Amino acid sequence: MPTRSPWARLALGAAGMAAAIVGAAGACADVLHVTYRVSLIGLPIGAVNLNADLTPTSYSIQGDAKLTGLARLLNNARGASAGNGAIVQGHVSPATFATIAADSKMTRTIRMALAGNAVTGIDISPPYEDKPDRVPLGPGDEKGIVDPVGAVIIPAPASGPIVSPAACDRKVPIFDGYTRFDIDLTYIGERRVATKGYEGPVVVCAARYVPIAGHRRDRPATKFMADNKDLEVWLAPIERDHVLIPFRVSVRTMIGTTVVEATEFRVDEK
């Protein structure tokens, strides 16, 4: 188990990432801007902004989310996340991850350093309260993983078209600093979409949430999501960087279907 509050490790992780970017300076770089609209049962409730610097061998992402309209009046929740890392032989290898979430009652921050797809340090403030039904993390649950920001990057298949069944057929092992889970993707088909900045094909994947550890086994929401077959992800290609990025995500929740869909998906050369 990695040592907690390892700020030296975080600094080293950031320095290592900087070195990786310098080493890839000869590669073409793109800047991705995505704005997502969030709706619940068809009603707009929030917005997500994502900005990323991408090359075929590295990524750096910043994103923020907030409730809007009536939803904001009921619960003024907001959050932001950032992460960076490398793309090595078709796999995402994160270096740092940080997130902050706030509502009217509390603000929580999580910072995590990683190397070789393993966690080397975590700081969570304030820490989560342990519950009797929480499934404990095992010795291997912080290894062979990506963080939630790194999970946004889907490396394209090594050969063949980017928009293809091979883009979907994979398992994404995620650790968010507290819980370990898999997202299993399987191919459904392809669609054409059009929004500001992008018109073209997307690959459509069915998704399944598989809890591993850190979750509360007795919570109805945990069982609901583990049994949930109404999850879908649409992935849009960024050809030059040989990756795919979520264009649309739909999830059936206990209070209705939530849809996160791009209203702008723009790639500019850096």
Calpha distance 125→112 (Å, rounded) = 12
12: pLDDT strictly greater than 50? no
In terms of Cα–Cα distance, which of 268, 243, 197, 270 is closest to 58? 243
Radius of gyration of the chain (CA): 18
> Mean pLDDT, the chain, as a whole number?
88
Q: Which residue has the higher pLDDT, 6 or 93?
A: 93
- pLDDT tens profile 129-159: 888 999 999 989 999 999 999 999 999 998 8
pLDDT confidence of residue 1: 40
Calpha distance 118→88 (Å, rounded) = 15
pLDDT confidence of residue 75: 65
pLDDT bucket at 74, cuts 50 / 70 / 90: low
2: pLDDT strictly greater than 60? no
Calpha distance 247→256 (Å, rounded) = 20
Who contacts 151 (Cβ-Cβ below 8 Å, separation ≥6)? 92, 172, 174, 183
Element of type H or E holding 188: strand 180-195
pLDDT bucket at 5, cuts 50 / 70 / 90: very low
Dihedral angle over CA of 155, 156, 157, 158, nearest 10: -80
Dihedral angle over CA of 26, 50, 246, 118, nearest 10: 70
207: pLDDT strictly greater than 80? yes
Question: Among 100-109, 196-205, 246-255, which stretch is predicted with the lowest mean pLDDT?
Answer: 100-109
Q: What is the pTM of this model?
A: 0.87
Q: What are phi and psi of 103, to 5 degrees?
A: -140, -165
- pLDDT tens profile 167-194: 999 999 999 999 999 999 999 999 999 9
Q: What secondary structure letter does DSSP report for 216?
A: B
Q: What are phi and psi of 24, to 5 degrees?
A: -100, 15
pLDDT confidence of residue 70: 61
pLDDT bucket at 92, cuts 50 / 70 / 90: very high
Q: 243: burial class by Cβ within 10 Å (0-12, 13-18, 19+)? A: buried
